[in-house]
Amino acid sequence: MTEHLKMDEVQPRLLDETTQGAIHRPMPRPEGPLKVSGRATYAAEWKMDNAANGVLVRAAIPKGHYKVDASSVEAMPGFLGVYTDRMPRNAAQGTMNTNPAQIGDEIQYLGQPIAVAVAETFEQARDIAAALKIDYDRDDDVAAGPDTAQQVNEKDDPFDQGDLDRAMADAAHSVDATYTTKGHNSAAMEPHAALAVWDGDKLTVRASLQMLGYNRNELADSLGIDAENLRLLSPYIGGGFGSKLGISPEAIAASVAAKELGRPVRVVMTRNNVFETVVRRTETRQRLRLALDADGKLTGIGQENWQSNLPEEPFAEPVDLATHFLYAGANRRYGQHIAIVNRSAAGSVRAPGEAVGMLALENAMDELAEAAGIDPIDLRVANIPETHPENGKPFSSRSLAECLRQGAEAFGWSARQAPGARREGEWLIGMGVASAARTNILQESKARVTLNPDGTALVETDMTDIGTGTYAILGQIAAEMLGLPPEKVTVELGDTDLPKASGSGGSWGAASAGSAVFLGAKGIRRRLAERLGCTPEDLRLQDGVATGGNNRRPLAELMDAPLSEIGHLETGAKSNDVHQAGYGAHFAEVAVNTVTGEVRVRRMLAAMAAGRILNEQTARSQVWGGQIWGIGTALTEGLDHDPRTGHIVNNDLAEYHVPVNLDVPDLDVIFVEERDDDANPIQAKGIGELGLSGAGAAITNAIYNACGVRVRDYPATPDRIFSHL
């Protein structure tokens, strides 16, 4: 049976009534021991005796046409084949649900996958890929970057409210500044991999993917097969961060080659492939305008951005996503310009929009606070709007002020001094703050929950766990609802044969799939209540015992066969009528070296409000991850594109600088108590990206507070600082 809910109305806070104590509390991920002992089998590790190995062949020119000459490598050891058929230009964008661009013999960026070379072993295939003769018909009219692009698409209808120019002219204090960010790569630990196995016209693919429901349709469409005939398995994923949202070249190539060869084919991306071909976060240029009146109230906000992508690629970095609702101000303008370039596809990288948009906005806010002589926290708190400043919708839970205030207290913000005041030898020390905001999204989800008479339970859904803790929290929700210790609940994920959930992305996974599990368990509670002879409201389940009315019975006495329910959550009016977002505040203390401009982050604190916190440990880990990404965004990470070809030349982990241990100081996280009744029946909001939103700005604002240098081009590498000292 199915327990269905369309989220049109506020639901009772059932998880505050239940008494098992399985939820909220910190609980380690149950699959953790498997992962750290090498027993969690990732896509590429799946043993299959007769599997052949494929390596992607990359285009060596940025633009033109190509033809491969397979005869040039046929005689090489282990050769099985070279295939170009259906090769996609890049991965599908998140939730695309159809095939990604497949452009035949055309090349649009250097590094584009143009063929797959298949051999008995990986080493042989890599060798063949390198030796393969390719005839290029080169087109020299290359748009290597936004500056040389001939085509720039402006967003048709840039949002415009009131008169920003006027507001700027009349302002008591204003900021009009331009910020730039370099491109980013997700750099997930596990490289993209797929193992394709055909059985007649049925295809099974083991892959590393974030959204199986969509990915199944995308792969089927790419191959021209019926989605019914395709099964995807993705039980373990070594990080995704957006780069595994859509089906990507290795899965299509493995499927095509496996069909041709009549045997399983595995394709694993090299680290260089990952940097060159998975979606990048676009570089951005952003013009921020802020107008403040004499009372310290914002009267205007403007954010225009310039970015880049491949032709016809349906994605734009939503740079101004949070700007629309974070602060008040009557006059508002946005604009977006997308240069069409010969660079790899731009797409979702963790916190698309906020990661770079909030970096610029929150720096501009700091500049405004400085110009007006107002404490940066006071400025932010004074400009929190009552309702959505552009469409007037009410907000759901919104604890921004509490996060800023509680965070300031915990961090010791009152000890902050003027720029240049705190010196330790060569180092100047400073503190910075920034707001965090991330739109909260709910997606349709299903999950099957089965309760067994022996007091164990099973949760099944095609939901994925990309290292975030999905196994843990879905088990905890079921355990809490069914009154079982969490270790009695088994969670099966990552299989398209199971009920379809939201997938992992957009920070919506925990709330969406979690609500489906909640509903499934709620259906079981209803049936147990009937058997016990009480109302569902009166039912209490704890440690395998049901209590209700005047009865108290162990589960085993209430059931002689498993009870199974599918929970089905659909989005409803609440997604439209109420504006929902998670909020937070980031604090950072940095030291800036006055000789070299090197920056060391000394400590960070994040105060986060994201509705119900389902598991304090996995939630904290998500925020830590966000803070660390904030360090990378602010200080170290950036894709370097060759100015003539657009090619990403720092395509390995030696030269693309993610923060290392020594870059990451003690990270503090506090959660501000909240329930979001409008969000979903479990009152939780997304937290996977909130921790990154604004985190970098707290650091760059701290740089200013330390040494008086305002860095507007990121990452803030030493060369961008020392020359001003």
Partner 1 sequence: MRPFEYVRAETRDDAHRADGRIIAGGTNLLDLMKLQVETPERLLDVTRLDMHEIDEAENSVRIGALVTNSDLAAHPLIRKRYPVLSRALLAGASGQLRNKATTGGNLMQRTRCPYFYDTTQPCNKRAPGTGCQAIGGVNRILAILGTSDHCIATHPSDMAVGMRTLDARVEIETADGDTKLLPLDEFYRLPGDTPERETALEPGDLIVAVHLPDPPAGAQAYRKVRDRSSYAFALVSMGAVVSVENGKIASAAMAFGGLGPRPWRDHDAESVLEGETPSRALFDKAADVLLADAKGQGENDFKIPLTRRVVAAVLSDLTGVSQ
Looking at the annotation, which residues are catalytic? Answer: 689
139 binds partner 1 (CB under 8 A): no
120 binds partner 1 (CB under 8 A): no
- In terms of CB distance, is 426 or 557 closer to partner 1? 426
| C-alpha distance across the termini of the chain, in Å | 68
80 binds partner 1 (CB under 8 A): no
Near partner 1 by CB under 8 A: residue from 10, 34, 40, 60: 60
Residues 6+ apart with CB under 8 A from 393: 387, 577, 578, 579
723 binds partner 1 (CB under 8 A): yes
Cα dihedral 191, 197, 198, 204 in deg (nearest 10):
-70
For the beta sheet containing 193-199, the strands, ordered from the edge strand earlier in sequence to the opposite edge, are 79-83, 113-119, 52-58, 265-268, 193-199, 202-207, 230-233
Near partner 1 by CB under 8 A: residue from 419, 650, 677, 708: 650
642 binds partner 1 (CB under 8 A): yes
- In terms of CB distance, is 426 or 673 closer to partner 1? 426
Considering only residues 577-616, where is the footprint of partner 1 by CB under 8 A?
Answer: 595-598, 600
Question: Other CB atoms closer than 10 Å to residue 647's CB: what's the count?
Answer: 22
Q: Strands of 35-159 (E only): list them.
A: 52-58, 64-69, 79-83, 106-107, 113-119, 133-138, 152-154
The structure tokens listed for 135 are: 């005839």
Near partner 1 by CB under 8 A: residue from 158, 394, 533, 643: 643
Near partner 1 by CB under 8 A: residue from 640, 675, 708, 713: 640
What DSSP letter does each residue of 290-335 carry, written as one string? EEE-TTS-EEEEEEEEEEEE-TT------TTTTHHHHS--SEEEEE
713 by Cβ neighbours in 10 Å (0-12 / 13-18 / 19+) ranks as middle
Considering only residues 269-308, where is the footprint of partner 1 by CB under 8 A?
Answer: 272
- In terms of CB distance, is 272 or 551 closer to partner 1? 272
Minimal distance, residue 82 CB to partner 1, in Å = 17
Residue at 176: amino acid letter: D
Minimal distance, residue 657 CB to partner 1, in Å = 5
Q: Kindly indicate which of the ranges 32-40, 91-99, 165-173, 653-661 contains the residues binding partner 1, using the contact rule CB under 8 A.
A: 653-661
- In terms of CB distance, is 24 or 600 closer to partner 1? 600
Spatial contact of 376 and 369, defined as CB atoms under 8 Å apart: yes
The binding track of 403-432 with respect to partner 1, each residue x by CB under 8 A or -, is -----------------------x------
644 binds partner 1 (CB under 8 A): yes
127 binds partner 1 (CB under 8 A): yes
* Count of residues making up the chain: 725
Minimal distance, residue 662 CB to partner 1, in Å = 4
- In terms of CB distance, is 318 or 708 closer to partner 1? 708
Minimal distance, residue 275 CB to partner 1, in Å = 11
- In terms of CB distance, is 97 or 272 closer to partner 1? 272
Near partner 1 by CB under 8 A: residue from 285, 641, 685, 712: 641
Near partner 1 by CB under 8 A: residue from 649, 677, 708, 710: 649
- In terms of CB distance, is 381 or 725 closer to partner 1? 725
58 binds partner 1 (CB under 8 A): yes
Strand 202-207 and strand 230-233: pairing? parallel
Minimal distance, residue 182 CB to partner 1, in Å = 12
Minimal distance, residue 640 CB to partner 1, in Å = 5
Residues 6+ apart with CB under 8 A from 400: 326, 380, 381, 384, 435, 437, 583, 584, 585, 609
User: Phi and psi of 581, rounded to 5°?
Assistant: -155, 155
The two counts, helices (H) then strands (E), for the chain are 16, 30
Minimal distance, residue 21 CB to partner 1, in Å = 41
Cα dihedral 699, 701, 702, 703 in deg (nearest 10):
90
**Nearest to residue 187, comparing CAs of 509, 655, 536?**
655
Residues that bind partner 1 (CB under 8 A): 58, 60, 77, 123, 126-127, 130, 272, 426, 595-598, 600, 635-636, 640-644, 647, 649-652, 654-655, 657, 659-663, 717-719, 722-723
